[in-house]
């Protein structure tokens, strides 16, 4: 049976997050993601450390706010959110601010732009 032909990214038609974006959103909100600290917690990685900064655990805070590898993407997508919320990267609740409904789309865009989760399967 032939399926109708749709564009590869139907989210552009409906302005809804596609499946990968939904996956990224879930990963960031739950913390159950392919970041090293979670993989280590569930015995799927030998250690929790960031592969770029070997002495830092790669949790959400490190990925979203700290890892120097993603500084360019962070300046474009994360810093404007923090500034708009009178927040900074060192603020203890900065991650919570980023995961708020108003901001999660930009965080998903950040996740995409970093390429950190490409080729990952849930």
Binding region for Zn ion (CB under 5 A): 50, 52-53, 67
- Tokens 């805070």 locate to 61
- Taking the least distance from each CB to Zn ion, the nearer of 62 and 81 is 62
Q: Distance between CA atoms of 27 and 107, rounded to whole angstroms? A: 11
**Nearer of residues 53 and 97 to Zn ion, judged by Cβ:** 53
Cβ at position 86, least distance to Zn ion in Å = 26
Answer yes or no: are the C-beta atoms of 56 and 49 closer than 8 Å.
yes
* Distance in Å, CB of 70 to Zn ion, minimum: 8
Let me know: does 100 contact 65? Beta carbons within 8 Å: no
Which secondary-structure segment (H or E) carries 31? none
Q: Nearer to Zn ion by C-beta: 62 or 103?
A: 62
**Structure token digits, residue 114:** 């970093």
Which C-beta is closer to Zn ion: that of 17 or that of 48? 48
Write down the least CB distance from residue 32 to Zn ion, Å: 19
d(CA 122, CA 50): 19
Shortest gap between Cβ of 74 and Zn ion (angstroms)?
12
């Amino acid at each position: 049976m032939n399926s109708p032909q749709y564009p590869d990214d139907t989210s552009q038609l409906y302005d809804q997050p596609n499946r990968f974006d939904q996956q990224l959103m879930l990963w960031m909100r739950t913390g159950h993601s392919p970041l090293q600290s979670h993989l280590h917690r569930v015995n799927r990685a030998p250690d929790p450390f960031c592969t770029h900064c070997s002495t830092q655990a790669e949790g959400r805070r490190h990925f979203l706010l700290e890892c120097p590898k993603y500084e360019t993407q962070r300046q474009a997508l994360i810093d404007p959110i923090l500034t708009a919320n009178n927040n900074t990267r060192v603020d203890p609740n900065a991650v919570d601010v980023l995961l708020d409904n108003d901001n999660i789309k930009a965080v998903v865009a950040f996740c995409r732009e970093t390429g950190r989760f490409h080729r990952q399967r849930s």
